[in-house]
Amino acid sequence: MKSILQLSILLLFISGCTKSPVYQSQSRLYSSIISNGLERNYLLVLPDSYDNNHNFPLVIALHGAGGKASQMEKHYNLTQKANAENYVIVYPEGTQSDGVLGLRYWNAGGCCKDAADNKTDDVKFIQELIEKIISRYHINRKRIYITGMSNGAMMAYRLACELPGKIAAIAPVAGTMYTEGNCPATTPVPILHIHSEKDTRVPYNGGTGVGGIYFPPVEEGIAKWIKINDCKESSRTETQFSNYKTIEWSGCQKPVKIYLTEDGGHSWPGGNPHSRFADPPATSVNANELIWSFFKQHELD
């Protein structure tokens, strides 16, 4: 199982598997912290507008299985968007597997190897990283957001469940909620989920995907947030557009909304095509535009 999964993920990220750079400048820092005895890496980028007179919003961007900070930055254009919107952005990296490829994973609960098997405490790592960034930079504690791709999207859901009162909103892309047991959150969190109905690697309706792994349906996880956010379950509405639809619920303390595209696949809508083995990005919506528009509407009470 492990060899099949690693080969599949290698094909997804074959163009982004070179050794991570180590560098530091006034606006870019590739560094590490020690969390639970492990050295954990991250790439942090400040916007051109950064100064010491204002507190800036922070976006935490979580790569997919097999990815890394530089790969996510290169393929999804997140740094350019963060800079344009005057946000600080950080790209943490998952732990590397013991396999020959040394692929990186997040422990999102039941997924993904090897982080899940080793019970890596990625929640603690992200919590400690947030506190370190806040201690060094001018960050608005009420405006800390998380987005992620695939395994990173799954990790975004777990962080929303386990860091109540710290995350202002999340925007998972092409993932699903994979936490083991019940989500312990009682604090509502705004949720924006983006997915393609053509995604066969993490199927929207659930089923066997990449590496022969079973993934729960997206709306099974969303149902937990409908309850946490105190939405009216019967208020589900769909709105069809030319090449995508939106699904949302009304009467919520915090909104829950899905963009489901008819094009693309297991990819970042509006991102850069990066491998002949990877699915083409959807063009019907632009994930970065949707995500920032959503984040700007929400901050912690």
pLDDT, tens only, 231-259: 987 899 999 999 999 999 999 999 999 99
How many residues are recorded in the chain?
301
What pLDDT, on the 0 to 100 scale, is given for residue 107?
96
Q: How far apart are the C-alpha atoms of 239 and 182, rounded to whole Å?
A: 30
Domains and CATH numbers, the chain: 2-295 (3.40.50.1820)
- In the predicted model, what is the mean pLDDT of the chain? 91
Confidence category of residue 277, pLDDT binned at 50, 70, 90: confident
Q: What is the pTM of this model?
A: 0.92
Q: How far apart are the C-alpha atoms of 195 and 282, rounded to whole Å?
A: 9
What region, left, alpha or beta, does residue 263 occupy, with left being phi > 0 and alpha being psi -120 to 50 degrees? beta
For the stretch 136-184, pLDDT in tens is 999 999 999 999 999 999 999 999 999 989 999 999 999 999 987 778 8
Average pLDDT over residues 75-90: 97
Q: Which amino acid is at 19?
A: K
pLDDT of 104 strictly over 90: yes
